[in-house]
Chains A and B, each alone.
Chain A
Amino acid sequence: MHIIDRRRDASGKSLGNRQRFIRRARALVRHAVREASKDRKITDTGRGGEVTVPADGVREPSLRRSAKGGIREYLLPGNKNYIEGDSIERPPSGGGAGGASADGGGEDEFRFVLSDDEFIDLFLEDLELPDLAKRQVMGEEKTQPRRAGYRSSGPPSQLSVPRTMRNSLSRRIALRRPKPDEIAALEDRIRELEDAGADEDEILSLRAELERQGLRARAIPFIDPVDVRYRRYESVPKPVAQAVMFCLMDVSGSMDEHLKDLAKRFYTLLYLFLSRRYRYVEVVFIRHTHEAKEVDEDTFFNSRETGGTVVSTALEEMISVLADRFPANAWNIYAAQASDGDNLPIDNERTVALLKNVILPLCQYYAYIEVGREPEERRRGGEPPSTLWRAYELIQSPQIPMAMRKVRDRRDIYPVFRELFERKINSASTGAR
């Protein structure tokens, strides 16, 4: 009997069907994903997971007998006490004493698990960083070799002589291989003694010594295969187009936990979006109080600071980072700022000037998110626009690649995010560098 081993065959035969299903239920699934991501922790957003869609949308109807009404018979096993003619109280759910439809007539929700990629794909669907489209970051990947240390095998052309010699030298020293001039000195000495007609014994012992040294020099090679080193290269993806995203956030005392949380969510979403959708995007995190500092991602989201609020410091820090590492002719520059709108009033002028004269001309796009408090807290009288909002409003115009939005609740984040980065926006900004 020949038994076929199918285990090596490609699995995923159902992939086509699965994709068809998700496409079919796309609108429903997208909605479900949006709902699901609202209640998730930030760090979980990038993972796949279970979603629930109303079964009605993916129903497969058939002509079947209704589960209600009529005369029905049920044949049940395990009778203990019933005798013919007994009556049993009707179970509350309608249906019979156990014969309720097994074909799932009553189900109203359909639950299933999306993979990470499917989840994030739907999550980010039709979102796009403005202007990056023209560089087609998602296009073909090129790699270029980059030096990455040494290795012990490789093509002769990559032989690293200095490194090989260094290894050889240390080995020779460690094994006390006689140096050529030591041997030469020994030979000279013998010749000298012979010429002087000195004591035979001494000459003999020196000859023996010479012999031994010569043997040692032959036994310990000058270059051993273990010494040889070659240059190692790694191929790294060569950015076709690169973008840098600046995340600026006010972490001063006026930003309470709720507001920080809102801002955090916005950035998480943003970061997630960038790191998933665009491969070659650098992200710079700058937090500020009355002074600004570039930090890593973890610190950005998790550490606490106290102090006043001077927005211009963050902008200055951003400008210095730009000048340092991201020349405007090589990078597409995007920035997103989150704040509660507080700023030292005298700083407004400087902030606006920096933004208008230095940053906006460099940026492809600048987004300002103003996080606000829950409605109950801010009910007292008309809620005047914040200092920063008023200042920023002055420079708003369709020609300027800048958008501003207010966010009150974490439910608002997703729609705002969407709106900010909707594809159509890019008509406002100017051409590629």
Chain B
Amino acid sequence: MKIKPAKNKLLFEGADWDFDTLARIYDGVAEIGLGELGLDIYRPRIEVITTEQMLDAYASTGMPLFYRHWSFGKQFVRNETLYRKGWQGLAYEIVINSNPCVVYLLEENTATMQALVLAHAAFGHNHFFKNNYVFKQWTDADGILDYLAFAKNYITECEDRYGVSEVERVLDAAHALQNQGIHRYPGKRTIDLRSEEKRERERREHGERLFNDLWRTVPEQGKKTKKRSERDRRRALLGLPEENILYFLEKTSPRLKPWQREVIRIVRHIAQYFYPQRQTKMMNEGCATYTHYEIMQRLVDRGQITEGAYFEFLHSHTNVVTQPNFDDRRYYGLNPYALGFAMMKDVERICVNPQAEDRQWFPDIAGNGDPMGTLKDIWANYRDESFVSQFLSPHVIRKLGLFLVVDDYKEKDLSVDAIHNERGYTRVRRALARHYDVARHDPDIQIVDVDLEGDRRLELRHHVVDGVTLDEDDAERVLQHLANLWGYEVYLIETAGEGEPATKHHAEPVHPFV
């Protein structure tokens, strides 16, 4: 017979909670999260909100404050309608990548759910935000709330000064291009004078060391290779090609006013802030789900929650990590929680209890006996794409029954290209990695040329991959916005490369910003 845990050890009993209970739950969860799992988190700021406030938060992409725009209102009425009709439940929590890390808890959650949600968000997501390299590289958790406050005030001021509709027009145009407002590669740092001198000195010394007078006697190459064409010179001056269209407009657009540039900059910065979340959606949820599962299990082992609460937790956890099959009515793509959790659990299994197959596929980690260390390393140094391409094991592929279907528009039927067997593992894994490669899903569009001294016509190129062109209707609209922002003609050429068929879109400013 099982011994009932001592009453005073329980964090809570029943579904009701108050703020003392909540604080006790937090302490219990923190003891395991920080003590046993050794997670490294931003100090959490936990706030309890109502459903109304949750709907509000939904509309501004979860952020506690945001500038105003009708598109958020659209989002809000959509969610509200879905929620009121009962077609869509609300999230139990929202967590924000900021320092302190803001965690919103829904007041309707039961005590068990609050424990689960605290473990999930305040520890799982929080650890991921603080440690993952894409977040470290591209987001500023310390500054985001202040920046949003600045953005909100700035845009309100602009509205007061220039009128709501004028500001709205700039925001509409900038929003249309926000996926093209992201720096995907860390740029070159401008070097300060001292290191520049140092580099110059080293280069000179190197030259002197290697000096050989013989080189002077070598006949010179034809001059034409040295002389750059006018076009190349121009492009180099403007830093073209440039894929960050908003950045280019902000810096180069000939007609925009300073406040309009600032508005574009705000949209660009915020898009950049959210970009890592798209890149790590699956891992982030996997990390948080693994963390809450681990913490809740340990709470049960310590006798700090009742068995009833444990069953409630299991029920909710299973709902979250359900992956319906492709032929199921509920199927709606791969569930990032399910795949993420399955892969994290699998890494744990490989570390602790590897099979021969795992030793062959993962010689580095198989049987190293340190699942938490391995996972923390993974959470810090990978994003979805690289995580899948490194750690998706045959075991998980089999478990989920993953198979690859190729749809070539030229063929009559779809074909099954790879399944979960020996021949298919690698291909399935590669395809799944591609599936999570955000940069591959966003069309590759670059500004390739503009003659600022001539007709100022802006030329863009979409490098077509796999024959998938842009959505024509939307492209025309976005191009119109772009032409208005740029103030002159805009061309977009879609082609897979030289000599391939090309589609051309064209827009002229009808209502330029002046």
Q: Does B49 reach chain A (CB closer than 8 Å)?
A: yes
- A257 near B: Cβ within 8 Å? no
Indicate whether B409 reaches chain A with its CB closer than 8 angstroms.
yes
Q: Report whether A76 and B177 are in contact in the complex, using a CB–CB cutoff of 8 Å.
A: no
Do residues B416 and A9 form an inter-chain contact, with CB atoms below 8 A? Answer: no
Q: Using Cβ atoms and an 8 Å threshold, which residues of chain A touch B19?
A: 3, 5
Tell me whether B334 and A3 are in contact (CB under 8 A). Answer: no
* Cβ-based interface call for A385 (8 A): no
Contact in complex: A79, B420 (CB < 8 Å): yes
- A88-96, A133-141, A156-164: which one contacts chain B? A88-96
Contact of B474 among A23, A63, A84 (CB under 8 A): A63
Q: Please give me the residue from chain B that is nearest to A80 by CB atom.
A: B401
Query: Is B400's CB under 8 angstroms from A84's CB?
Result: no
Across the interface, do A73 and B435 meet the contact criterion of CB distance under 8 Å?
yes
Number of A-B contacts (CB under 8 A): 261
B332 with A14: CB separation less than 8 A: no
CB-based contact B478/A21 at 8 Å: no
**With the chains together, A113 CA to B82 CA distance in Å?**
9
Q: Does B471 interact with chain A (Cβ within 8 Å)?
A: yes
Binary B-proximity of A156-184 (CB < 8 A = 1, otherwise 0)? 00000000000000000000000000000
Tell me whether A113 and B406 are in contact in the complex, defined as CB-CB below 8 angstroms, given that A7-B49, A70-B469 are known contacts: no
**CB-nearest residue of chain B relative to A7?**
B50
The verdict on B227 contacting chain A, using a C-beta distance below 8 Å, is: no
Contact A88 B469 (CB under 8 A): no
**Complex Cα distance A113/B84, Å?**
9
Asked if residues A72 and B50 are in contact (CB atoms below 8 Å), the reply is no
CA distance A99 to B179 in the complex (A): 21
Q: Is the CB of A88 within 8 A of B176?
A: no
Task: Name the segment of A104-112, A208-216, A272-280, A309-317 touching the other chain.
Answer: A104-112
Please determine whether A90 and B48 come into contact, CB atoms closer than 8 angstroms: no
Q: Is the CB of B53 within 8 A of A7?
A: yes
Q: Are B403 and A88 in contact (CB under 8 A)?
A: no
Per-position 1/0 for B57-80, Cβ under 8 A of A: 001100000001111111011101
Bitwise, A22-40 to B at CB < 8 A (1) or not (0) is 1111000000000000000
- The proximity string for B residues 469-482 relative to A, scoring 1 for CB distances below 8 Å and 0 otherwise, is 11111110110010
Cα distance, A242 to B84, chains bound together (Å): 40
Check if B53 sits within 8 Å of A71, measured CB to CB.
no
B417-441 interface with A by 8 A CB criterion: 417-421, 423-424, 428, 431-432, 434-435, 441
The answer to whether the Cβ of A117 comes within 8 Å of any Cβ in the partner chain is no
Interface size on B, residues (CB 8 A): 98
Chain A min CB distance to B284 (Å) = 18
Q: Which of B98-142 contact A (CB under 8 A)?
A: 104, 107
Question: In the bound complex, do residue B400 and residue A78 qualify as a contact, i.e. CB atoms below 8 Å apart?
Answer: yes
Contact status of A90 and B413, CB under 8 A, knowing A21-B77, A65-B441, A66-B470: yes
In the bound complex, what is the Cα–Cα distance between A18 and B234 (angstroms)? 46
Contact B413 A4 (CB under 8 A): no
Q: How far is the CA of A71 from the CA of B60 in the complex (A)?
A: 35
Query: B45 within 8 Å of A by Cβ?
Result: yes
Does B468 lie within 8 Å of A70, measured CB to CB?
Answer: yes
Chain B proximity mask over A49-78: 1 for CB below 8 Å, otherwise 0:
010000000111111111111111111111
A68 to B468, CA, bound (A): 7
Q: Is B175 an interface residue when CB atoms closer than 8 A count as contact? A: yes
Task: Looking at the assembled complex, report how far the CB atom of B30 sits from the nearest CB atom of chain A, in whole angstroms.
Answer: 7
User: A409 to B84, alpha carbons, bound, how many Å?
Assistant: 35
Q: Which residues of A contact B77 (CB under 8 A)?
A: 18, 21, 112-113
Whether the Cβ atoms of A70 and B409 lie closer than 8 Å is yes
**A63 B400 Cβ-Cβ under 8 A:** no
Are B405 and A97 in contact, with the CB atoms below 8 A? yes
A113/B46 contact (C-beta < 8 A), A60-B71, A74-B404 known: no
Q: Is B415 an interface residue (CB 8 A)?
A: yes
Most B CB contacts (10 A, CB to CB) among A1, A12, A19, A59 go to: A1
Contact B470 A65, beta carbon cutoff 8 Å: yes
* Cβ contact within 8 Å between B23 and A1: yes
Chain A residues within an 8 Å CB radius of B481: 61
Q: Which of B176-194 contact A (CB under 8 A)?
A: 176-180
Contacts of A77 in B (CB 8 A): 323-326, 334, 400-402
* Chain B residues with CB below 8 A from A142, complex form: none
- CB of A77 to closest CB in B, whole Å: 5
Q: Shortest beta-carbon distance, B190 to chain A, in Å?
A: 30
In the bound complex, do residue B466 and residue A72 qualify as a contact, i.e. CB atoms below 8 Å apart?
yes
Residue with the highest number of chain B CB atoms closer than 10 Å, among A6, A14, A67, A90: A14
Assembly CA distance A365 to B306 (angstroms): 74
Would A75 and B72 count as touching, CB distance under 8 A?
A: no
> In the complex, what's the smallest C-beta–C-beta distance from A60 to chain B, in angstroms?
5
Interface of B is mostly: mixed
Most chain A CB atoms below 10 A, which of B84, B328, B407, B409: B407
Does B196 have its Cβ within 8 Å of any Cβ on chain A? no
Docked-complex contact B470 and A88, CB < 8 angstroms: no
A contacts with B: majority SS:
loop
Q: Are A60 and B175 in contact (CB under 8 A)?
A: yes
Given contacts A1-B30, A63-B177, A77-B325, contact A17 B414 (CB under 8 A): no
Whether A144 sits at the interface, judged by CB under 8 Å, is: no
Nearest B-chain residue to A5, judged by Cβ: B48
Cα separation A22 to B76 with both chains bound (whole Å): 11
**Quick check: B47 and A3 within 8 Å, CB to CB?**
yes
Q: Do B471 and A17 touch across chains, with their CB atoms under 8 A apart?
A: no
Which residues does chain B contribute within 8 Å of A13, judged by CB atoms?
53, 56, 60
Q: A11-B50, A86-B415 are in contact. Are A69 and B409 (CB under 8 A)?
A: yes
Within 8 A of A (CB), among B315-363: 323-328, 331-334
Known contacts A60-B71, A87-B415, A102-B332, A74 near B405 by CB under 8 Å: yes
Chain B CB within 10 Å, residue with most, of A2, A79, A111: A79
Give the distance in Å from the alpha carbon of A66 to the alpha carbon of B473 in the complex: 9
A98 an interface residue at 8 Å Cβ cutoff? Answer: yes
Whether the Cβ atoms of A61 and B176 lie closer than 8 Å is: yes
Cα-based distance from A304 to B132 in the complex (angstroms): 76
Whole-angstrom CA separation of A147 from B352 in the bound complex: 84
Given A1-B23, A78-B326, A112-B81, A66–B403 Cβ distance below 8 Å?
no
**B198 in the interface, Cβ–Cβ < 8 Å?**
no
A85 at the interface (CB under 8 A from B): yes
Contact B70 A90 (CB under 8 A): no
Asked if B408 CB lies within 8 Å of chain A CBs, one says yes
How distant is the Cα of A89 from the Cα of B414 in the complex, in angstroms? 6
State the Cβ distance, A99 to closest chain B Cβ, in Å: 7
A198 → B minimal CB distance (Å): 81
Cα-based distance from A17 to B104 in the complex (angstroms)? 21
Interchain CB contact under 8 A, B412 and A90: yes
Q: In chain A, what residue has the closest Cβ to B68?
A: A16
In this complex, what residue of A is CB-closest to B27? A1
State the CA gap A299–B176 with chains docked (Å).
57
A90 touches B407 (CB 8 A): yes
Q: Which residue of B lies closest to A18 (CB)?
A: B73
Q: Of A6, A12, A71, A85, which is within 8 A of B408 by CB?
A: A71
Cα of A41 to Cα of B80 in the assembled complex, Å: 25
Query: Closest CB of chain A to B494's CB: distance in Å?
Result: 10
CB-CB nearest in chain A for B408: A71
Q: In the complex, A353→B27 CA distance in Å?
A: 88
Taking the closest CB of chain A, its distance from the CB of B436, in whole angstroms, is: 10
B26, CB-defined interface residue at 8 Å: yes
CB-defined contacts of B76 to chain A, threshold 8 Å = 14, 17-18, 21
Considering the complex, give the chain A residue whose CB is closest to the CB of B429.
A75
- B43 shortest CB reach to chain A, Å: 10
Give the docked Cα–Cα distance between A14 and B442 (Å): 30
Q: A58-B74, A113-B77 are in contact. Are A14 and B59 (CB under 8 A)?
A: yes
> Could you list 6 further interchain pairs (A-B, Cβ under 8 angstroms) beyond the known A14-B56, A111-B81?
A60-B175, A62-B178, A65-B469, A76-B405, A78-B325, A84-B418
Residues of A within 8 A of B (CB): 1-7, 9, 11-14, 16-25, 50, 58-80, 82-90, 96-99, 102, 105, 110-113
Could you list 20 A-B pairs, sorted by A, with CB under 8 Å? A6-B47, A7-B49, A11-B56, A14-B72, A20-B164, A21-B70, A21-B73, A24-B168, A61-B475, A61-B478, A62-B177, A63-B177, A63-B475, A64-B474, A72-B468, A74-B407, A77-B325, A78-B325, A88-B416, A110-B74
